[in-house]
Each structure stands twice: as C-alpha cells, then as structure tokens.
C-alpha cells in the first residue's frame, strides 16, 4: 500500500487501519530517520571514532524499521477476531470466553509494538551525540516520532484491557505498558530538548 492509499483508508469509516497502525507507521518512520542520520554520518572523517557504532546503529535501525512496519498488518489482524467477538449474540454461552481472549490478544499486539519502540531509544541517544551535526535536527524529529508512537500504542493497550474481566491479567499488562511508556517518553524528551538547546545556542 502506498502512502496515499493508506491515508485514504485511514480516513474512511473502516476500523482498520486505525490508531494502532498509525502508531506502528510513526515508529517505523522514526527508525528510518535513525538510518538516515547514520548513513549521513558513516564514512565522514569527522566522526571516524564512531564509525563502528554508526554501522551498528544503521544495521539495527534497518531491522527495527521492518519489524515496526509489520505491526501495521499485525494490528489489523488482531482487531478482526475482536470485531467478530463483539458481534456474537449476548446469550451465547461462549461469548464471554471468546471475547476475553480476543481482548487479551488485541491488547498484546500494541504491547508488543511498545517493546519494539523501546529499542529505538538507545539509538536516538547515541545519534544525538555521535551523529552528524548536520542531521541532528532529524534525531530530534525521530525522538518526537518515537514518543508519539509509544504514546499512541499504549492507548490501544488500555482500550482493550479496560474491557477485560480478568483484572489481574489486565492490571499486569497495564503495569508493563506503563513502565515502558514512562521510561521511553522521558528519554525521548531528553534527546529532543538536548538537540533543541544545541541548535538554539
């Protein structure tokens, strides 16, 4: 799907793609920017001391970009069983069991997305120091996107755990999500503000 088609589908009344797919796309864009900054830095004499680190970051960013992009489809796949579960008649004795499983699976997908987004943070932190200063603004943009992605993904965890009847499982998933959210947001903000101070100095 090209970008224009994605936007058309997103703006329609169809439930997918939705916020989960957008969060995945934004995270993939963040990873792609990390690759770009790495490639703009690689081979430059001024940053020769960081060459090995930059090559590692480029390789990692490529892997993350692909895995994050794949979550657009994974999000859609996770929603389908949930949509079907909600349509089961309320007097069906199996409805609650089926719905509970669908809710858990639908919450697990964005939770897994969050785990992938977390991997972007160390790359952002390194690139803010070791990346080409001509592209440091792109590191800040990537940090903003990573933050937006994880803040978006966690909403798709919460909306499903809120409906779960097994509160112990729901609370555990929320706790795991909260920990990733707080750490990632804080560190992305730190990268963003460090770049801002550098550029405005």
Give the tens place of pLDDT for each residue, 98-148. Answer: 999 999 999 999 999 999 999 999 999 999 999 999 999 999 999 999 999
* Measured distance CA(133)–CA(2) in Å, rounded: 32
Long-range contacts formed by 100-104: CB under 8 A, 24+ apart: 100/164, 100/165, 100/166, 103/160, 103/161, 103/163, 103/164, 104/160, 104/164, 104/166, 104/169, 104/173
17-200: CATH architecture: Up-down Bundle (1.20)
Predicted structure pTM score: 0.94
Helices (H), the chain: 3-11, 19-41, 51-86, 95-118, 120-130, 136-161, 167-200
Per-residue pLDDT tens over the stretch 49-70: 999 999 999 999 999 999 999 9
- Domain segments of the chain: what residues? 17-200
Any idea which residue has 């916020």 for tokens? 19
């Amino acid at each position: 799907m090209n970008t224009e088609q994605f936007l058309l589908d997103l703006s329609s009344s169809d439930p997918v793609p939705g916020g989960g797919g957008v969060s995945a796309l934004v995270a993939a864009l963040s990873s792609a920017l990390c690759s770009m900054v790495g490639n703009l830095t690689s081979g430059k004499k001024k940053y020769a001391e960081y060459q090995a680190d930059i090559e590692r970051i480029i390789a990692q960013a490529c892997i993350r970009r692909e895995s994050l992009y794949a979550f657009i489809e994974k999000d859609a796949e996770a929603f389908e069983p949930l949509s079907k579960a909600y349509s089961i008649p309320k007097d069906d004795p199996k409805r609650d069991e089926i719905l509970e499983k669908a809710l858990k699976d639908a919450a697990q997908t964005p939770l897994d997305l969050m785990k992938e987004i977390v991997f972007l943070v160390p790359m952002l932190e390194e690139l803010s120091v070791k990346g080409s200063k001509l592209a440091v603004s792109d590191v800040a943009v990537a940090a903003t996107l990573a933050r937006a992605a994880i803040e978006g993904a966690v909403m798709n965890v919460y909306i499903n755990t809120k409906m779960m009847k097994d509160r112990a499982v729901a609370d555990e998933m929320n706790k795991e999500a909260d920990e990733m959210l707080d750490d990632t947001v804080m560190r992305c903000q730190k990268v963003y503000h460090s770049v801002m101070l550098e550029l405005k100095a």
